[in-house]
Chain A
Amino acid sequence: MSELVLKSQRFRREREADWKRLESLLGLLEAGKRNQLSDDDVIALPLLYRATLSSLSVARSISLDRNLVDYLESLSTRAYFFVYGTRTTLGERISSFFLRDWPGAVRTLWRETVIAAGLGAMGALVAFVVTLRNPAYFYVFVDRALAGGRGPRASTAELGRTIFGHQGDKALGFFASFLFTHNAQIALLAFALGFACCLPTAFLMFYNGLMLGAFLALFYSHGLGVPFGGWMLIHGVTELFAITLAGAAGFRIGWALAFPGSKSRLAAAADAGRLAGTLMAGVVLMLAVAGLLEGYGRQLVTNTALRYVIALATALAWAGYFYAPYFRALGRRP
């Protein structure tokens, strides 16, 4: 090895060991092998990080070795993201999500939730009135494939069978998981579409209401209104609530982009997006519950009164969880 003649080369020789140590520690941490670090390593990490940052600063002003400067930049950036990144464990993240973040996001978005629910209710009312006057309009609101055998021409007995009949016990699990993934995808779409100034989301909420209203009118006109309510609400409370919340999340983003207020448009969108993102993670969970209720609960429980009891229980559970004062107090604790 020949002698190092330049100041920048001597500088590198002095500091190199620290950089290498930081690099190996980061390698372990990024691979998730946190438990392989000794106590000394953990104490040394922030010191090594600061030493490397200072080396970067010096290297930029005295060294023209580009490989060295590039290396230090990349190492400092990696260390920065680690040192100043989130260090909560998965368990903490999950418990904070259920105790604070999710119900908090739902409460914060109450205005949007009311609007989304209102649009759905309006759609349901319109379709209900129109379909009741003229049953031929049913297919305007409901896709033929979705309606299956349930159309204006079906007899009361046939309609009754769709409400109380079994889909076949064996396929229940498959049916439930299919419903869940389908609905989750729709909810994600309702959320994503909010980006375009809320309009597509508003339409989706309204259209969802239309379908519901058309079905309700169909069954009501055959005198099956009450059993249909039980058939629908046993999972519908959860599902419709989840879809309404997804719409509310979409509204929030669209609104923040259109009317950012005192913040910059980008900052407003980012704030709204994080809040709405939290909400959406919860919505997917709610839809999983709804899928289970629809696939299993509805097919196994065929008694209308019992269906209403379950529907009421889920409604109380969600409302209590999101809006009850007890949970609010719990959520406020840091």
Chain B
Amino acid sequence: MKAPKSLTRELVTPEGIDLRLVLADGGERLGAFLLDVVFILIALIGLTLGTIGLAFLFSFRSADVLGVIWILGFFALRNFYFIAFELTPRAATPGKRIVGIRVATRDGSPLTANAIFARNAMRELEIFLPLLFMIAKTSDIDAWIGIVGMIWCGVFVFFPLFNRDRLRVGDLVAGTWVVVAPRRVLSPDLAAPESKLVFNEAALDAYGIKELNILEDVLRRGDEETMRIVAARIRKKIAFDHPVAEAEFLSAYYIALRGRLENRLLFGRRRRDKYEKV
């Protein structure tokens, strides 16, 4: 799907080409974070079970050593999970990798370890402090202080939703943002079929680039029911009644339409959709 304009950012490489980065939206960020939380919890359970297993193995002779292992392991997981993964060339935690997003600097410069440390140290404020307020017993602190604290923390928790660049406080402070970086696969080209169906001028002027892209999706997906419906719509629109199989008709029409629109593109005329004048 094409990203909305409001999330597309210009990044011109030194070679002078705009990479048109797309920022990750709130859902992707949250999804990635929740995945990471799940991974951390799994690792934590593994760590706990491992420590207990070791304790059995050594029949509890060195319980305090195991305590040290556990407490340092917990600390490392809590603080260095994000940092360690974002320091790799892919600059993304496993959660981010699954969602297909990564960390990058806002000015396109190399991502330094300092920036990664700063953006993750801020997590203390955004995640752990609110959690602390939530689980604090009401007897410990005044309920009002708790509520005020929650509101104050809420400013940081919901910070990404209230700025254009979807920055969380850590991003703001480290000069980073999170961009969409999926690994796309190059599908085979949709080649022209053997049989040459001929379409007249009016038939090829019926649609624009937007419709061409939708047709491309339909062809690549290859769902028969959808192809049947789309073929019927197009046949009706261009008044084409040659008896030919749907797949063949759609492929032929796709190539013909693409050829026509690409030819016009070479002359600097980009017809966005069917509503734009020819």
| Interface set of A (CB-CB < 8 Å, partner B) | 1-9, 12-13, 16, 19-20, 29-30, 32, 50, 53-54, 56-57, 61-68, 70-71, 73-78, 80-82, 84-86, 93, 97, 101, 170-174, 176-178, 180-181, 184-185, 188-189, 191-193, 195-196, 253, 266-267, 269-278, 280-281, 284
Contacts and interface: CB of A to CB of B under 8 A. Distances in A.
Given A6-B262, A65-B216, A30 B90 contact: yes
B124 A280 contact: no
A64 B262 contact: yes
B120 to A, nearest CB: 9
Nearest to A282: B117
A55 to B, nearest CB: 10
Contacts of B250: none
Contact of B182 (A2, A54, A74, A184): A74
Nearest to A82: B89
Interface in B19-36: 19-21
Given A67-B184, A273-B172, 6 more contacts: A71-B185, A86-B112, A180-B75, A267-B175, A274-B175, A276-B118
Which residue, of B121, B185, B192, B258, has the highest number of chain A Cβ atoms within 10 A? B121
B258 A277 contact: no
A19 B124 contact: no
Interface of B: 11, 13-15, 17, 19-21, 64-65, 67-68, 71-72, 74-75, 79, 88-91, 102, 104, 106, 108-119, 121-125, 128-129, 152, 156, 169, 172-175, 179, 181-187, 189-194, 209, 212-213, 216, 220, 255, 258-259, 261-262, 265-266
Nearest to B122: A192
Given A1-B191, A270-B174, A281 B117 contact: yes
Nearest to A275: B114
Nearest to B129: A189
Which residue, of B72, B88, B190, B212, has the highest number of chain A Cβ atoms within 10 A? B72
B93 to A, nearest CB: 14
A66 B72 contact: no
Contacts of B152: 196
Contact of B259 (A6, A75, A84): A6
Contacts of A195: 122, 125, 156, 169, 173
B106 A270 contact: yes
Which residue, of B110, B189, B193, B194, has the highest number of chain A Cβ atoms within 10 A? B189
A82 B255 CA distance: 36
Contact of A174 (B64, B108, B183): B64
A269 B173 contact: yes
A74 B258 contact: no
Contacts of A185: 124, 128
A172 B209 CA distance: 71
A3 B191 CA distance: 7
B121 A280 contact: yes
6 contacts: A54-B15, A57-B17, A64-B258, A77-B181, A189-B129, A277-B115
Which residue, of B14, B64, B115, has the highest number of chain A Cβ atoms within 10 A? B64
A80 B13 contact: yes
B105 to A, nearest CB: 8
Contacts of A65: 189-190, 216, 258
A204 to B, nearest CB: 12
Nearest to B181: A77
Given A188-B79, A271-B175, A273-B174, A5 B104 contact: no
B121 A191 contact: yes
Contacts of A271: 175
A5 B259 contact: yes
Contacts of A53: 13, 15, 17
B74 to A, nearest CB: 7
Contacts of A81: 89, 91, 102, 104, 181
Contacts of B185: 71
Given A67-B220, A184-B75, A278-B117, A170 B17 contact: no
A185 B129 CA distance: 11
Given A74-B181, A74-B182, A62 B265 contact: yes
B125 A67 contact: no
B48 to A, nearest CB: 16
A281 B102 CA distance: 22
Which residue, of B175, B255, B266, has the highest number of chain A Cβ atoms within 10 A? B175
B266 A270 contact: no
A171 B71 CA distance: 13
Contacts of A73: 19-20
Contacts of B117: 277-278, 280-281
Contacts of A188: 79, 121, 124
8 tightest A-B CB contacts, nearest first = A270-B175, A277-B118, A273-B173, A192-B125, A174-B67, A277-B117, A181-B75, A86-B110
